Amino acid sequence: MGKTAYKRLLGSQSFRQRLLLATLSSTPILIEDIRADETWPGLRNHEISLLRLFETVCDDCHVEINETGTKLKYKPGTIIGGRQHRAHDCGVSRSIGYFLEPLVVLCLFAKQPLTIRLKGITNDSKDPSVDTFKSTALPILKRFGVPSEGLELKIESRGLPPNGGGEVVLSLPVVQSLSAVSWIDEGFVKKIRGTTFSTRVSVQFENSMIKATRGIINPLVSDVHIFSDHRSGPQAGNSPGYGISLVAETTSGCFISADTAVSHSRDDDTSSLADDSKKDLMPPEDIGVGTTNALLGEIAQSGVVDSTHQGLLFLLCALCPQDVSKVRVGKLSQYGVETLRNIRDFLNLKFIIKPEPNSQSVFLKCVGYGMKNLSRKVS
């Protein structure tokens, strides 16, 4: 057996996508100088948890980390998927949303449909919430030919920082290959849906968010429904907090989203927070107004996805068959640019990028990598 040739990388940036693309392209990687000059060097807890998650859904992959955590060797295995009977603890340093995107894209090409239970934080201010992933990312997958049957994200309990306690169940079908898309028309907003949530606080927090949100949206769109999800007891997780997720659906089948969540460090169960505790939290009215304005800003960018989901869109385009995909997005986000660079480095695939002079939008075109699920037979 010959010596393994590792693709050498430096630093901690784009860790999720490096791991994902290395696995999909069967490329062993060696990452060095991972936060080597920082006070606390090496891999973070959520990055180690992601590695363990990949080990769970893959067979025969090899992970080697040095004592300081500044050097990682990763040799991909076979993507198995399947029904995982043991829940994966995502920890509390990053939310479940951090893990969902790479896990979903990876296991589309697994041998078996995936069912897995994830524990941790469901809503925070760093990553897309599980609500947003459910209402926005899953429809994007369907656009690329992922079947609706077997595609589900169920929220069993909420969990907010700092102590988490949330739990979701992800079910994912497998595909033989994705479908190339020509997706350049964002259409017009026809309806807005939303979900407010509260855990271990008064339900009045949700009422205030809904009132503030409707005060802006109702004059603009007639079809608006915002649902409430008040949790208490074990389903409320371990920390009090509240937030909102909004998604606008357009006439051309686009889903544009924005969300916000705030939490408090108290972990005792209470129906309402004391006055001194409320000072540490953003008022619910401001949450509603801020998230609504963020949604309107994303809509104004004139793209088929919001800035948060540009990376997912580009990954799916790149993994399509060797056919041309055309998409239109708003101003390229930093995450979107990093995704394009990682696709180039791992798949040797470049997008043709053409800015639209009359707006902030950007057209992108690529010929897919031709990713196929060789373990899935054509029916």
Task: Tell me the one-letter amino acid at 314.
Answer: F
Instruction: Give the total residue count for the chain.
Output: 379
- The answer, yes or no, to whether residue 269 has pLDDT greater than 70, is no
Res. 357 pLDDT band, cuts 50 70 90: confident
| pLDDT at position 75 | 97
Question: What tokens appear for 218 in the block?
Answer: 């109702």
| pLDDT at position 288 | 97
Give the separation between CA 35 and CA 61, rounded to whole angstroms: 24
Identify the bridge partners of residue 197 per DSSP, sorted by sequence position. 229, 243
Residue 64 sits at φ, ψ, to 5 deg, of -135, 120
Res. 374 pLDDT band, cuts 50 70 90: confident
Res. 377 pLDDT band, cuts 50 70 90: low
Tell me the average pLDDT across 181-193.
Answer: 96
- The answer, yes or no, to whether residue 30 has pLDDT greater than 80, is yes
pTM of the model: 0.94
- What topology does CATH give the domain 1-78? Translation Initiation Factor IF3 (3.30.110)
| pLDDT at position 283 | 93
Residue whose C-alpha is closest to residue 228's, from 247, 208, 248, 252: 208
Q: How far is CA 91 from CA 38, 108, 166, 194, 267, in A?
A: 22, 24, 10, 27, 16
Domain limits, the chain: 1-78, 189-265+282-301, 306-367
Task: Tell me the one-letter amino acid at 172.
Answer: L
Residue 173 sits at φ, ψ, to 5 deg, of -80, 170
| pLDDT at position 184 | 95
- The answer, yes or no, to whether residue 160 has pLDDT greater than 90, is yes
Pairing of strands 182-183, 166-172: unpaired
| pLDDT at position 276 | 43
pLDDT in tens, 280-330: 578 999 999 999 999 999 999 989 999 999 999 999 999 999 999 999 999
State the DSSP code for 233.
G
Those residues whose C-beta lies under 8 Å from the C-beta of residue 104, and which sit 6 or more positions away, are 137, 141, 170, 172
Mapped onto helix, strand or coil, the DSSP state of residue 352 is: strand
Q: Helix 96-107 vs helix 15-24: angle between axes, to the nearest 10 degrees? A: 10
Give the separation between CA 251 and CA 330, rounded to whole angstroms: 18
Which of 359 and 114 is assigned the larger pLDDT? 114
pLDDT in tens, 57-112: 999 999 999 999 999 999 999 999 999 999 999 999 999 999 999 999 999 999 99
Mean pLDDT of the chain: 93
Tell me the average pLDDT across 165-181.
Answer: 97
Give the separation between CA 266 and CA 261, rounded to whole angstroms: 16
Q: Are 24 and 109 in contact (CB under 8 A)?
A: yes
Residue 144 sits at φ, ψ, to 5 deg, of -95, 15
Q: Which CATH class is domain 189-265+282-301?
A: alpha beta
- The answer, yes or no, to whether residue 25 has pLDDT greater than 90, is yes
pLDDT in tens, 332-352: 999 999 999 999 999 999 999
